[in-house]
Structure 1
């Protein structure tokens, strides 16, 4: 399976009023190798294991496989993960036929807010809500795997 998405910084909090759901996410990485990122996630009472391959198309596309696993196993795997867990609250916001996932990071990534939109093709057009900021698709600093190793609160820029 190929995941195609674009990622943006968020410049305003208007998305909260437009949101249709809110989820707490805790995730860690068993591997942060760009050729084979392996992520473990806990979302509410559900656990997930995700494997992603190297990005291409300027960071827009990458192979991805995701499997639901028992929550207790996800929690056990989190204890084996590299570096720091990534904590965030995810809001889902509809914009035309697309759904933006807006992540407000907490913990060591406090202050960072990113929005992602999944597409069916890299060239697909989509509505850009007013709260959408600068595009950061392909900028490795904003990959969750990178944020687990280099938290936003420790950036010098």
Structure 2
């Protein structure tokens, strides 16, 4: 069990891909998307996880997170029980000084959406903002993956 402290941003361009030191394919679904807690099933390359996240604090930066590795077979079976649509994306890891940006490029119903997250050690920790980083959307629940599964990017009026 731990607290997750992160900030979330839209991405202006694909320069981050040249800087990425790793990329992974992710497929995930939600067994529960209640505002007080979400329960997620994720397959990331050749590993799978069950994750429970609590409600975000007022600023949207911090929340409880519990994660357990499960078998791929269990994850595939649990994905069949998930709510609405499944999220599919490629995650790029980009070093930023001593921190790491996780940049998600979405596919399927969320095609065209790219979001960067950075996990921090404290809510007030400062960090360098690369030029490919766009508008901050920390705390904007429409960008939570659990909400993207219910109201995908393709349905948004831009």
Tell me the TM-score range normalised by the shorter chain: over 0.9
Listed as ranges, the matches of 1:6-155 within 5 Å are 6-155=7-156
The TM-score, its normalising length taken from structure 1, stands at 0.99
Kindly state the Cα deviation for residue 86 of structure 1 after the two structures are TM-superposed: 0.5
Which structure carries more strand by proportion?
1
Kindly state the Cα deviation for residue 45 of structure 1 after the two structures are TM-superposed: 1.2
Instruction: Give the total of aligned pairs.
Output: 157
List gaps (5 residues or longer) in structure 1.
none
User: CA RMSD for the aligned pairs?
Assistant: 0.6
The TM-score, its normalising length taken from structure 2, stands at 0.98
The whole-number CA distance in structure 2 between the counterparts of 1:34 and 1:2 is 17
The whole-number CA distance in structure 2 between the counterparts of 1:52 and 1:87 is 19
The whole-number CA distance in structure 2 between the counterparts of 1:67 and 1:57 is 26
The whole-number CA distance in structure 1 between the counterparts of 2:35 and 2:65 is 12
Kindly state the Cα deviation for residue 57 of structure 1 after the two structures are TM-superposed: 4.0
